């Protein structure tokens, strides 16, 4: 596992990924060996089927949406760079990064970018608004079959009522951020990546 | 997962924040591999009547529940208070006896008495945990000088090993109760405590280790090269620092029997005090310690290869999986 992975990933690529995502060298090599073990076709990219083979992902209510998030617009394969870019959203925010304000562009794991990732799980048609239907779809996925349509509809209506400030019956990204401003997004959307 | 969801989905921000939870679990399962599994407690085949190992066992029968209730009563009302009393009396004992011993001038009496104090205090701690330890191959026990390396599962490893011999411990200087204990231990025998800033300076660390090892009168140094607690099913990659010093290394394998109590300390799940309370309210800590024959670095062997050789020897003896990472 260990030696095969490092010979296929070149040093320059590791450096580029490090700069773009902020992962450390050893984290990148470990995630690369995980990538290759998922890649059953051994062609250097992952397809949707490769993800669906993971059992815990198959039973996760949002599994399909998360898998979608890895694939860029209308493509069916994701390479290692794209894989790392999506995983970078879940990197914990380190203390010294919070104070750094000279960064040219916001790091992938900033609070705003984490929230944008979550927003896109709802906003399927990418029109930068969560409509009532889109909200209902995701709620139905998370809740299962034991809540009736009317109950779910009223939950969705109440959510939109409380969040919508400009009265267009849908939730924009700013309104989404406002609803979650008290939630500790940094902790809820961070995973401990091993070194 | 979905049953919990129905009860919680009733306010507006939870409609969104639950998505965060599910997305995190999804990405965790994407990243999960055989190494991340080492950082959670080992699953048992049969339930051993302890709540914390009740992963897959739902209500089976009334008789089992009654048995569990009796066990709970026994453990919390009889075993736990006795053990806590022992532990609580052991700490002041250590803090009182070690300064007394340090008043003596350096010499045979000083080292003889400090060994006795050491054995008595660690004996009290071992009984406080009800640790039933079987030592194998005691002829290979680490002697004067040299470095002793062992696989790490819990901070209790130190108590288990120190019960059978004097070791010098290595670690960072802490504050509070730990710092008090560290200062007390240093009075009776020589330990190596680093300041946080010094710990980052590899040369300083290597030099202090080398100096200690060169002095044959000092007890062997105890080091856990994995660097962190693993769940006792496998051995992770060793950090090479302690293998560069160039003296003989005494490997020790420690294997806990998971049926009587889970010794693994998951530091992200609970702090040290709750961990100690969990352990003291288990049935017992049953473990086996194997002393392996000393190994020396061969000519032309790098520190990394040497550390891998030692790691394989420990894994083979303890019946643990030898991980590549």
Give the pLDDT mean for A170-182: 87
How does DSSP assign B82-98, residue by residue? Answer: HHHHHHHHHHHHHHHHH
Contact between B14 and A113 (Cβ < 8 Å): no
Residue B92 pLDDT > 60, yes or no?
Answer: yes
Which of B12, B19, B29 faces A142 most closely, judged by CB atoms? B19
Q: C-alpha distances in angstroms, A100 versus A23, A43, A111, A185? A: 17, 39, 14, 19
Q: Choosing among A46, A115, A159, A162, which should be mutated to test the B contact, i.e. which has the most B CBs within 10 A?
A: A159
d(CA A158, CA B76) in angstroms, rounded, equals: 47
The reported pLDDT for the residue numbered B269 is: 73
Helix (H) or strand (E) holding B249: strand B249-256
Question: Nearest residue of A to residue B25 by CA position?
Answer: A60
Q: Are B42 and B262 in contact (CB under 8 A)?
A: yes
Q: Which residue in A121, A190, A191 is closest to B31 by CB distance?
A: A191
* CA–CA gap between residue A143 and residue A145 (Å, rounded): 7
Predicted confidence band at B3 (pLDDT cuts at 50, 70, 90)? very low
Alpha-carbon distance A22 to nearest alpha carbon in chain B (angstroms):
17
Mean local confidence (pLDDT), B20-29: 88
Residues of A in contact with B324 (CB under 8 A): 1-2
Nearest residue in chain B measured CA to CA from A195: B325
CA distance A71 to A77: 7
Contact B151, B225 (CB under 8 A): no
Judge whether residue B100 has pLDDT over 50.
yes
Tokens 């073990």 belong to residue: A37
- DSSP strands (E only) in B259-325: 285-291, 321-322
Percent of chain A with pLDDT over 70: 90
Q: Which residue of A has its CA nearest to B7?
A: A143
Q: What is the ipTM of this complex?
A: 0.87
Contact B4/A at CB under 8 A = no
The residue that leads in pLDDT, A173 or B65, is A173
Cα–Cα distances in Å, from B10 out to A112, A157, A182, B126? 25, 12, 17, 50
Q: pLDDT tens digit string along B173-207? A: 777 777 777 787 777 677 887 776 766 677 777 78
Taking the C-alpha atoms of residue A8 and residue A42, their distance in angstroms, rounded to an integer, is 12
More confident position, B294 or B214? B294
Cβ A175 vs Cβ A163: under 8 Å: yes
Q: Is the dihedral of CA B272, B278, B283, B286 positive or negative?
A: negative
Average pLDDT of the segment spanning B73-91? 87
What's chain B's average pLDDT? 80
Q: Which of B17, B26, B33 sits opposite A57 (nearest CB)?
A: B26
Whether the per-residue pLDDT at A96 is higher than 50: the answer is yes
* B29 three-class SS: helix
- Separation between Cα atoms, residue B113 and residue A155, nearest integer Å: 73
DSSP for residue B104: S
pLDDT digit string, tens, across residues B221-245: 888 888 778 888 888 878 777 788 7
Confidence class for position B323, pLDDT limits 50, 70, 90 = confident
b vs e for A126-156, b when ≥16 Cβ sit within 10 Å of the residue's Cβ? eeebbbeebbbebbebbbeeeeeeeebeebb
Verify whether the Cβ–Cβ distance A155 to B1 is below 8 Å: no
Q: Cβ neighbours of residue B185 under 8 Å, at least 6 residues apart?
A: B94, B98, B169, B191
Question: Which region among A44-53, B39-48, B88-97, B114-123 has the lowest average model confidence (pLDDT)?
Answer: B39-48
* B16 vs B324 pLDDT, higher one: B16
Distance from CA of B14 to the nearest CA of A (A): 9
Mean pLDDT, residues B159-168: 86
Please say whether the beta carbons of B27 and A191 come within 8 A. Answer: yes
Which residues from B are below 8 Å from A138, CB to CB? 19
**Per-residue confidence at A3, pLDDT binned at 50, 70, 90?**
very low
Give pLDDT, residue B180.
Answer: 78
Which residues of chain A have a CB within 8 Å of the CB of B18?
142
The per-type count for chain A, helices as H runs and strands as E runs, is 13, 2
Please check whether residue B182 is in contact with residue B173, taking contact to mean a CB–CB distance below 8 angstroms: yes
User: Is any Cβ of chain A less than 8 angstroms from the Cβ of B51?
Assistant: no
Which residues in chain B have Cβ-Cβ distances shorter than 8 Å to A55?
29
Closest CA to B242 of B325, B318, B146, B314: B146
Q: Which two tokens stand for residue B128?
A: 């406080």
Q: Distance between CA atoms of B83 and B80, rounded to whole angstroms?
A: 5
Residue A136: list chain B partners with CB under 8 A. Answer: none
Which pLDDT value is given to residue B252? Answer: 92
Among candidate residues B255, B260, B269, the one with its CA nearest the CA of residue B79: B260
Taking CA B224 as the corner, what is the angle to CA B89 and CA B304, rounded to the nearest 5 degrees?
175
Identify which of B17, B24, B325 has the shortest CB distance to residue A191: B24
Q: CA B272 to CA B154: how far, in whole Å?
A: 10
**Partner residue facing B19 (CB), from A118, A162, A193:** A118
Question: What pLDDT score was predicted for residue A7?
Answer: 45
Q: Inter-chain contact A122–B19, Cβ cutoff 8 Å?
A: yes
pLDDT at residue B232, rounded to an integer: 83
| A25-48 per-position pLDDT tens digit | 888 888 888 888 888 877 888 888
pLDDT of B19 above 80: yes
Confidence class for position A102, pLDDT limits 50, 70, 90: very low
> Could you say which DSSP state residue A164 is in?
-
Nearest-angstrom CA–CA distance, B35 and B279: 25
**Chain B contact set for A179 (CB, 8 A):** 12-13, 16
Q: Could you list the beta-strand ranges (E) of B85-241.
A: 131-136, 147-150, 168-172, 192-194, 221-223, 234-235
Contact B10 A159 (CB under 8 A): no
Q: What pLDDT score was predicted for residue A108?
A: 81
Q: Which residues pair with A171 in a beta bridge?
A: A130
Residue B36 confidence (pLDDT): 65
Whether B257 has a pLDDT exceeding 70, the answer reads yes
Nearest to A188 among B6, B15, B20 (CB): B20
Mean pLDDT (whole number) for A181-194 = 83
Q: Which helix (H) or strand (E) holds B253?
A: strand B249-256
Answer yes or no: is pLDDT of B284 > 70.
yes
Distance from CA of B178 to the nearest CA of A (A): 26
């Amino acid at each position: 596992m260990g030696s095969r992975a490092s010979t296929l990933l070149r040093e320059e690529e590791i450096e580029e990924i490090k700069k773009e995502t902020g992962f450390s060298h050893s984290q990148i090599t470990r995630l690369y060996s995980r990538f290759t073990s998922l890649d059953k076709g051994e062609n250097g990219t992952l397809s949707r089927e490769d993800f669906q083979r993971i059992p815990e992902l198959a039973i996760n209510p949002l599994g399909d949406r998360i898998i979608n998030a890895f694939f860029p617009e209308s493509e069916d394969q994701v390479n290692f760079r794209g894989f790392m870019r999506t995983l970078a959203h879940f990197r914990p925010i380190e203390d010294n990064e919070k104070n750094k304000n000279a960064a040219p562009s916001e790091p992938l794991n900033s609070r705003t970018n984490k929230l944008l990732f979550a927003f896109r799980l709802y906003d399927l048609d990418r029109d930068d608004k969560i409509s009532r239907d889109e909200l209902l779809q995701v709620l139905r996925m998370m809740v299962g079959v034991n809540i009736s349509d009317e109950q779910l509809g009223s939950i969705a209506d109440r959510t939109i009522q409380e969040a919508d400030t400009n009265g267009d019956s849908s939730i924009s990204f700013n309104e989404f951020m406002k609803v979650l401003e008290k939630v500790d997004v940094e902790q809820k959307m961070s995973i401990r990546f091993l070194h | 997962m979905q049953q919990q969801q129905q009860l919680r989905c009733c306010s507006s921000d939870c409609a969104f924040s639950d998505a965060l939870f599910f997305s995190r679990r999804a990405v965790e399962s994407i990243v999960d591999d055989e190494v991340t599994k080492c950082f959670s407690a080992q699953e048992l085949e049969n339930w051993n009547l302890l709540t914390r190992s009740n992963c897959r066992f739902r209500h089976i029968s009334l008789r089992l529940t009654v048995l569990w209730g009796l066990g709970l009563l026994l453990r919390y009302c009889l075993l736990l208070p006795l053990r806590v009393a022992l532990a609580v009396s052991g700490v002041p004992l250590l803090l009182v006896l070690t300064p007394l011993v340090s008043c003596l001038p350096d010499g045979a009496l000083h080292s003889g008495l400090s060994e006795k104090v050491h054995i008595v205090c660690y004996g009290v701690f071992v009984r406080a945990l009800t640790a039933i330890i079987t030592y194998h191959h005691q002829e290979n026990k680490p002697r004067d000088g040299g470095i002793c390396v062992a696989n790490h599962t819990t901070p209790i490893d130190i108590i288990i090993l120190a019960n059978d011999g004097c070791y010098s411990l290595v670690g960072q200087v802490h504050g509070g109760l730990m710092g008090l204990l560290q200062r007390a231990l240093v009075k009776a025998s020589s330990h190596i405590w680093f300041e946080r800033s010094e710990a980052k300076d590899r040369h300083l660390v290597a030099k202090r280790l080398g100096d200690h090892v060169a002095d044959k009168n000092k007890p062997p140094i105890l080091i856990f090269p994995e660097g962190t607690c693993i769940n006792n099913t496998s051995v992770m990659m060793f950090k090479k620092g302690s293998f560069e010093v160039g003296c003989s290394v005494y490997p020790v394998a420690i294997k806990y029997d998971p049926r009587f109590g889970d010794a693994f300390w998951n530091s992200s799940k609970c702090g040290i005090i709750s961990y100690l309370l969990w352990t003291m309210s288990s049935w017992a800590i049953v473990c086996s310690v194997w002393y392996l024959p000393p190994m020396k670095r061969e000519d032309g062997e790098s520190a990394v290869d040497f550390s891998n050789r030692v790691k394989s020897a420990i894994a083979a003896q303890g019946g643990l999986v030898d991980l590549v990472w």
